[in-house]
Structure 1
Amino acid sequence: MKLRNRHLLLLWMLVCSGTTEAIEPISTSIAVGVAAALTGFLATHQNIFCYIRECCRPEWISFNRTGLQTDLENKLFGQHIASRIILKAVNGFMSNDNPKKPLVLSLHGWTGTGKNFVSKLIAENIYKEGMDSSFVHVFTSTLHFPHSSQNATYKSQLQQWIKGNVSNCERSMFIFDEMDKMHPGLIDSIKPYLDYYDKLDGVSYRKSMFIFLSNAGGESIIETALNFWIAGRDREEIELKDLEKALSLSVFNNDKSGFFHTSLIDKHLVDFFVPFLPLEQKHVEQCVMAEMKARELEPDRDVAEKVAGDLHYFPKSDRAFSTKGCKAIQSKLDYYL
C-alpha cells in the first residue's frame, strides 16, 4: 500500500475508534469525510478481489435450475425417482430466501448407481467452481474418521469444521461419503446444526446443505426392483412410497451404519431419503455413450454394448441388473478404445 493510502487507513481507524484528538489540528468533519472515502476505497478493492477470487457472493453462488434439470435428464440414467426428488428438493430450497432449516438429503443405493455423480451435478449448478469450490466440503468416513477410538475427538472437530465454514459462508454444502462405514453416533454431533434453529451461538445454518451418501439400504432397494422385474412391471412404475419407509427403517436399524439409531432420523431431520435403483444393461450403455461424448469422441453404440456386456450382472441366469452400475466403465472404455 502506498504511503498516502497508509495515512488514509490510519485516519479511518482513528475515527472508527472515536479517537479524534490524535488527528488534530485536522477537524473531525474532515476526518469523517476521509473515513467515508476510505470505506469506499476498501469496498472497491473488495469487489475487485471477489472478481478474481471466489467469494460468498451471488457472482460465485447462484442456482441454475434449468442447468440442473438438463443435467439430470441427460447425464443421470435409470434414476427416475432420484431425479425427480433432487430437482424438486434443491429447487425449492434454493428458491427460498428464508428456509426454516438446512436441506438434508440422504442418498442410498449400491455402488455405481449415481450418488456421488448427483452430488457433483448439484454443486456444479450452484457454485461457479463446482466441486472445487471452497464452500463445498467433502468428508469420507474411512479417510477423515478412520478410528472408532477417536470418536470423541472427531465429534469436536466436526462441529468446529462445520461452524467455521458456515460462519464463513451460509450457503455451504457438506457431503458425507461412505455413511455406511461411519462409526455409529458420530453424525449425531451435528444434529443441532440440522434442526429448526434461527441461530446457534450467533451462526445460522438454515441456508446450508447436507448430503449423505450411503450403500446402506441398498438391499431393500434391490429387493423392490427385483420384485417389480419378476412381476414383469416396468421400473418406471416404482414410486418413492414403495421404497421410502423400508429404506429409512433398514438404515436406522443397521448397527454397522453411521445412521444406526441416529437422532437425525428419529427427529425427522432428514428431508428426503433418495433411493438409487440398480442399473440395467441399457443404462450402463447410456453411461458409456455419455463418457465418450465427455471425452469428445464420436459415440459408438457397438463399443458401448461391448463395454456394458463385459460387466457382471445379477441374477446370473437373467443378467437383470449390473453389480457395479457405471462404476467401472472408464477403465473398460480405455481397454476397448
Structure 2
Amino acid sequence: MRRRAALSLPPSLLLLLCSASSAAIEPISTSIAVGMAAALTGFLASYQNIIYYFHECCRPEWIAFNRTGLQEDLSTRLFGQHLASHIIAKAVSGFMNNANPKKPLVLSLHGWTGTGKNFASALIAESIYKEGMDSQFVHVFTAELHFPHAGQMDAYKTQLQQWIKGNVSSCDRSMFIFDEMDKMHPGLIDSIKPYLDYYDKVDGVSYRKAIFIFLSNAGGESIVQTTLDFWKAGRSREEIELKDVETSLALSVFNNKRSGLWHTSLIDKNLVDFFVPFLPLEYKHVVQCAMAAMSAQGLEPDAAVADKVAADLLYFPKAERVFSVKGCKTIDSKWEYYV
C-alpha cells in the first residue's frame, strides 16, 4: 500500500486535532491552550480536513469498513479456504455493520502452518484501516517475542492488560492479533477475559468495538483428519461445513496444553465467537500461491515455474501427495530459485 507523504506540522498540533475523536492528550496549561486556539482558528476554519488526510486518526477518514473489498479479497487471494473465507466475511461484516455490538469480535484461526491464517488477518486489517497492517490501531503480539519467559507471567498479564486498555482508550476500533497462540503460556490470555465479555465498560473503557484475533497451529490435526476423511470418501473439500469441524476443533484446542487456550475461560464462557478452520492446501493451491508471489513482484506469472515450485514440496499422504505439509509457507523464498 502506498503511504501518503507526511505533512510538516508540529506533532502537538496533529495530536490536538486527532484527539477530538480518539486519543486523550496530556494536560496543558490554560494559557497555552488559549494561545494555540487563537493562532489556529483561521487555519482550522479552512484546512481542518487536510490534517485528517495526512495524519492517521481514529476517524472515518482512516477507519471505514469495505465489505465488498474483504469478500473479493477472501475469494480471490486466500487460496483453498472456502470455509474460512465464508466465516470471516460473515463475522467481520456483521460486526462492523453493527453500530452497537454487545461485545468485541473474537476470532480464533486454526490450522497447520502455511494455510493462510496470517494472510487472512492482514486482509481483515486492509478492509477496515486505510493503512492496513501498518495502522497504528492494529497491534500484533507474538508469543516468543513478547512473552518469552514463563517465570514472568504476572508481569506479562499486567502489561498486556495495560497495553490493551491504553490502546482501546485511544481508539475503540482497535484490532489485536495474537500470533503463535500454541506457544503462549497457558492462562495468559485469561487475563484479558473481562475485555472480551459482555460488559458495557470495564474501568470506564468500552471494548465492544474492538477486534481480537488468535492465530494457532493447535487443532490442526483434527482439521487435517476431517479433510482426509472427506478425500478418502471421494468428497470435495468444498463440501466441508463448519459443523463438520467446529466441535472437534474447539475441544481439541480447549484440551491441548500447548494451545494457549488450554482450559481457558474464554472457551468455557463462549467468548470466542468463531473457531475458524484453515484446511490443508492441495497441490493446485500451492501453484496458485507461487503465481501470486510472482505477480506481487510485478512479474508475469509463469505457470511452468509455479509448477516446479509446487512439485518440489513435501505432501501427504506420502504415496498420493495430496496435501502440502507446509502449505504455502516457503513459497516467497523458493520461487525465484526456479526462474
When the two structures are superposed, what TM-score results if normalisation uses the length of structure 2? 0.88
Q: Which residue of 1 aligns with 2:157?
A: 155
Q: Bigger radius of gyration, 1 or 2? A: 1
Q: Which residue of 2 aligns with 1:51?
A: 53
Q: Which residue of 2 aligns with 1:5?
A: none
> Within 5 Å, which residues of 2 pair with 1:134-145?
134-145=136-147
Structure 1 gap segments, 5+ residues each? 2-11, 18-33
Q: Which residue of 1 aligns with 2:30?
A: 13
The Cα shift of 1:46 comes to 6.0
The Cα shift of 1:35 comes to 11
- Aligned AA (1:164): G
- Aligned AA (1:270): V
Residue identity (%): 73
Whole-angstrom distance in 2 between the partners of 1:47 and 1:73:
35
The Cα shift of 1:256 comes to 1.9
- Aligned AA (2:318): K
Q: Which residue of 1 aligns with 2:68?
A: 66
Q: Which residue of 2 aligns with 1:4?
A: none
- Aligned AA (1:236): E
Deviations 1:130-164 (A, max 9, x none): 10100000000010001111000000000000000
- Aligned AA (1:140): T
Q: Which residue of 2 aligns with 1:23?
A: none
Whole-angstrom distance in 1 between the partners of 2:334 and 2:41:
57
Whole-angstrom distance in 2 between the partners of 1:42 and 1:266:
54
Q: Which residue of 2 aligns with 1:80?
A: 82
- Aligned AA (2:189): I
CA RMSD of aligned residues (A): 2.1
The Cα shift of 1:13 comes to 3.2
SS of 1:106's partner is: strand
Q: Which residue of 2 aligns with 1:6?
A: none
2:133 pairs, out of 131, 134, 143, with: 131
Q: Which residue of 1 aligns with 2:307?
A: 305
SS of 2:128's partner is: coil
Whole-angstrom distance in 1 between the partners of 2:49 and 2:37:
17
Question: How has the CA–CA distance of structure 1 residues 197 and 40 changed in structure 2, closer, same or farther, with 3 Å as cutoff?
Answer: farther
Structure 2 gap segments, 5+ residues each? 1-8, 10-28
SS of 1:165's partner is: helix
Q: Which residue of 2 aligns with 1:213?
A: 215
Deviations 1:95-143 (A, max 9, x none): 1110000000000000000000000011011101110100000000010
Whole-angstrom distance in 2 between the partners of 1:42 and 1:157:
40
- Aligned AA (1:285): V
Deviations 1:199-242 (A, max 9, x none): 11111000000000000000000000011111111111111000
Deviations 1:156-210 (A, max 9, x none): 0000000000000000000000000000000000000000011111110000000
Say if 2:249 and 2:275, in contact at 8 Å, map to a contact too. Answer: yes
Q: Which residue of 2 aligns with 1:100?
A: 102
Kindly report structure 1 stretches of 4+ aligned residues shifted beyond 6 Å: 34-39
Moved more, 298-307 or 180-189: 298-307
Q: Which residue of 1 aligns with 2:112?
A: 110
Deviations 1:40-73 (A, max 9, x none): 5686576443221110000010111111111111
Deviations 1:256-279 (A, max 9, x none): 221000000000000000000000
Moved more, 298-307 or 42-51: 42-51
Question: How has the CA–CA distance of structure 1 residues 56 and 179 changed in structure 2, closer, same or farther, with 3 Å as cutoff?
Answer: same
- Aligned AA (1:294): A
- Aligned AA (1:13): T
SS of 2:321's partner is: coil
